[in-house]
Amino acid sequence: MATAASKQAAQAAAEEPEFDPTLDSWQVNYARLLSHVMQKGFQVGGLVGCLVVAPIVFYRARQGGTTAAVPKAVNAVFKTVMASTAASTAMAVARMASIDNMKEGLEDRAYRLHYNQGQVRTDHFAQIGTLVGGTAAVALLPASAAAVVAGGAAGAAVGVLAHVATAPKPEE
């Protein structure tokens, strides 16, 4: 039983011209893949930073009697996100350098990513969460780049969790 939203999505997909990464240069496909990997690094950093690192830092700061627990937790999330994004990017560059036929390998991966509805949905949820989280950080936290990045990462983490919680179950 299809919902109205899934019917609209299917109709929009039918009207969209077929995605063909072979029409683009290898540099464009390289950028597509690197962008995807960087987004995943940011999302993982947001999840690990918010669910693991920030609670530990916050708890330790409160145990030490400091009133600066929130800024310390924000900085911890910021550093976690930056490290995970940098690490995922470095690993992707190293991995792409080892591809035998780079042009075909990048085209294949770009094609598969474009049509992977789970990845596309996760990215949309995370992007919306990043926007909301970054905006909330600007409004609620002392102004700093670290606060905006950490807020965006928290939003991305919420977006990924929302995707996982609401993802349609695969039909068997």
Q: Which residue has the higher pLDDT, 86 or 142?
A: 86
**Rounded distance between C-alpha atoms, residue 137 and residue 155, angstroms:** 10
Q: Which residue has the tokens 């496909």?
A: 29
CB 106 within 8 A of CB 33: yes
pLDDT score at 1:
46
The pLDDT confidence band at residue 7, using thresholds 50, 70 and 90, is low
**Rounded distance between C-alpha atoms, residue 133 and residue 63, angstroms:** 27
Number of H helices, E strands in the chain: 7, 0
The pLDDT confidence band at residue 36, using thresholds 50, 70 and 90, is very high
Domain boundaries defined on the chain: 25-166
pLDDT score at 43:
97
What are the distances in angstroms from CA 169 to CA 12, 45, 118, 166? 22, 26, 11, 9
Reported pTM:
0.82
pLDDT in tens, 134-151: 999 999 998 899 999 999
CA 65 from centroid of its chain's CA atoms: 34
Q: How does the average pLDDT of the chain come out, rounded?
A: 88
